[in-house]
Structure 1
């Protein structure tokens, strides 16, 4: 359940950051106070869209039977893994300028009295985080077959409560705690989770005989750290560790981290070549 808590925590904090930036901007601009109801309206619409996606996934799953359902579930696990990587790369590319971009978009909408545009902006931001959370949780639920649903829901709620507390701490102690450090730490854990989901997907493809194992196992580290109990089981869930991996699994794992390194390096380079900010503006965004 640690993976569920972490995903809900991380995604909720990111959504709260977007809402917090826009809320603070509206509070600081009295002329734009009419935008508050559109802000919360956008939050409601975004949550509604994420809920619709969750319902759609469950409905589509019920249409499949037998092998088709297994294929659908395998696809969702792999989609969740890919989305996590995409999200991390997006945050690496936009994290430094997110506050500025949101505030500029808000200023343009306020100037034109385009509050419906602001509602759309907020709805898309919240729906994006919410839909990703739905897919991630669904993928992780499939990766942990036999998971108790009550524990699953309680873990999700725990992650949300933890996100509220974390957001309050980061906002209250912005001079001590760094948002940038928070996102760097959490993106590392997210990438490990994505690797774990990828491993689950590859193992399912091997069970369908879509992929050869090549050599199975290529090693056996069970005597040092078994992946079926205790810390080894936790490591397996968080990182995709396997005590007896096939050669094909190891190849996928290596290619995954090579691709992650390439895309993150590319995103960091694009961020570094963006138009430089004024010192005061850079200091403001450093806090965010």
Structure 2
């Protein structure tokens, strides 16, 4: 539930900030009520596109059985982990220029297609964030029950709305940049946990050799069967008795992320 809350909070917050940037640009360029209507239409269209993707993924999953279903679930975990990592690294590289890029794209779209272009830019921006959220939740759904995930997702959206409102009102001197940087590290930890979960399932299905199992036993310190250990396992990918292959995949993930982070 905590992972779903954090993922949806971060993605929803980014969507809210994008909408706020577009709304500010429209106001500054004399687009009043008609501009707001076009923006709202684009946001609704983006949400609808993301919802359609979610429905399609659920429909595909319901038609699968046996090894094919297991392969789909593992692929969902890997795709979600990869997209989270890519999103965090992309934001690290482009966050400072995102506003100018978005607004220049909006200006070009309005010049070419009027308010229809405004709606299209908004739809694509929101659909991108929504599609990422759908893929992330599809990956998380392989390790938590749907009820907890739905509750976490709803709480995450509410928290993102509150955070965006606070940032807009400048209450409590909220440093949105710091908030996004801290959440980036948390999302990378979640992505590493998804990678570990995918590795465990590959070993369980017999598609990846464990090499040495277990590689160590730290259950005496924190047992991942206890409440605290399970929370740490779900959030950060902790394993009290990991296979060597699992530890190797986890280590390679963080080595790759560290190198890419330093490059960017």
Equivalent of 2:196, from 195, 199, 211?
A: 199
The aligned counterpart of 1:228 is 225
Q: Counterparts of 1:117 and 1:99 in 2: how far apart (Å)? A: 17
Summarize the alignment of residues 217-256 of structure 1 with structure 2, pairs less than 5 Å apart: 217-256=214-253
Mark the runs of 5 or more structure 2 residues left unpaired by the alignment.
none
Q: Counterparts of 2:237 and 2:118 in 1: how far apart (Å)? A: 40
Q: Counterparts of 2:174 and 2:105 in 1: how far apart (Å)? A: 27
The aligned counterpart of 2:157 is 160
Superposed CA RMSD in Å reads 1.6
Q: Counterparts of 1:265 and 1:179 in 2: how far apart (Å)? A: 22
The aligned counterpart of 1:285 is none
Normalising by structure 1, report the TM-score.
0.87
Normalising by structure 2, report the TM-score.
0.94
The aligned counterpart of 1:209 is 206
| CA 1:222–1:175: 2 relative to 1, 3 Å | closer
Whether the 8 Å contact between 2:110 and 2:116 is mirrored in structure 1 is no
Find the residue that maps to 1:221 and give its secondary structure: coil
- Equivalent pairs counted in the alignment come to 264
| CA 1:31–1:39: 2 relative to 1, 3 Å | closer
CA deviation profile, 1:180-234 (whole Å, cap 9, x unmatched): 2111100000000000100110011111211111111111111111112222211
The 10-residue stretch of structure 1 (81-90 or 112-121) with the greater mean CA deviation from structure 2: 112-121
CA offset at residue 76 of structure 1? 0.7
Mark the runs of 5 or more structure 1 residues left unpaired by the alignment.
269-288
Q: Counterparts of 2:121 and 2:93 in 1: how far apart (Å)? A: 19
Matched, 1:18 2:57: no
| CA 1:216–1:27: 2 relative to 1, 3 Å | same
CA offset at residue 107 of structure 1? 2.4
